[in-house]
Amino acid sequence: MRGEAPVFIERTSVGLDVHARSVAAAAIDGMTGELVQARLAPSEQAVTAWLAGLPGPLAVVYEAGPTGFGLSRALTSQGVRCVVAAPSRLQRPSGDRVKTDARDAVHLARLLRLDEVTPVSVPTVEQESARDLVRAREDCRGDLMRARHRLSKLLLRHGIVYEGGAAWTGAHDAWLRREAAPALGTRATRMAFDSDYEAVLTVKARRDRLDRAIEELAAGSELAPAVHRLGCLRGVSTLTGFALAVEIGDWHRFTGATIGSFVGLTPSEHSSGASRAQGPITKTGNAHVRRLLVEAAWHHRARYTVGKTMRDRWELAPPAARVRGDEGNRRLHERWVGFLERRKRPTVANVAVARELAGWCWSLAVMED
């Protein structure tokens, strides 16, 4: 916070620019002002050995990225305070046009000493493994959508269109095998159809296996209570609730008003003087969480009734969560009704509902059992 005294108490601040094949390191001694730089091998042993030769106590920072959180856990286990910085929140001089690994490491060390680093939440090994599974399922969802598009567009190029109702149902699958495939004129085209149809079946089976694995993991996970509370809201199934729980991690970092901006659901703004202009949502932060919330928000458009599915999910949650979930469901449906009465575009209205849904999810996630 501005105006508060820095909380940096260590003698040496260390910035690491971590890559797959090298690590650029920079250390600033707060007592002497000395700057020490080095290029290290990308291993925890090499980094810890170099840090051991610096005057302590130490504080280390590096940017979150594809190299993961193993280095942070290793340094924390040795008693070194390690901050994993959010890359999108790092301050960079507007006039700086030279970017190198060494300069980035020095910049990180200086920001850490000034206490100007916004950290990300470092998950535990169990949480990270659960996140890997959830993201594998998200990738599989995208693969299935693309496989289905390839198959449907192949048929469309040959003038074959399904008109028997919703696509990708049992009836649609029977139509593909009994009517669409025989209608293709050449052997080569039928071979292309068989390839695309097999891809759809293979990816769908993979998605179903991942769904079952996630449901089993969610049932025995430490996140199960939070998932059950989140399930009190419409559109938040076990899969969605578990994905939200593992992607957000520590819900206590946020408030009901700030979580929407974390997932990029707040409007962008460019204001100066007396003028104020708002644009599309920022789309910053976790894109997976944002998609889940937008998808769940569509469920609140229909008239709110408590059906069997909702009652079954309520049975797994404590009474306070059921009451909060019921209040949220009614409120979000009222928001939908208000937007429709004002003739708002459904897509715009749904994003606004998703932003408020994020706040309701937060209130349930931080609720004590």
Considering 9-13, 89-93, 106-110, the range whose residues carry the highest mean pLDDT is 106-110
Buried/exposed code over 195-207 (b: 16+ C-beta within 10 A; e: otherwise): ebbebbeebbebb
The predicted-structure confidence for 274-294, as pLDDT tens digits, reads as follows 788 888 888 888 899 999 999
What the block records as the tokens of 80 is 């070194």
What span, in angstroms and rounded, lies between the C-alpha atoms of 290 and 265?
7
pLDDT at 3 exceeding the cut of 50: no
pLDDT at 126 exceeding the cut of 80: yes
Stretch among 91-100, 129-138, 165-174, 346-355 having the lowest mean pLDDT: 91-100
Q: What band does 4 get if pLDDT is binned at 50, 70 and 90?
A: very low
pLDDT at 239 exceeding the cut of 70: yes
What span, in angstroms and rounded, lies between the C-alpha atoms of 254 and 261?
10
Q: What band does 273 get if pLDDT is binned at 50, 70 and 90?
A: confident
Q: Which residues pair with 253 in a beta bridge?
A: none
Model pLDDT, residue 351: 95
The predicted-structure confidence for 284-320, as pLDDT tens digits, reads as follows 888 999 999 999 999 999 999 999 999 999 999 999 9
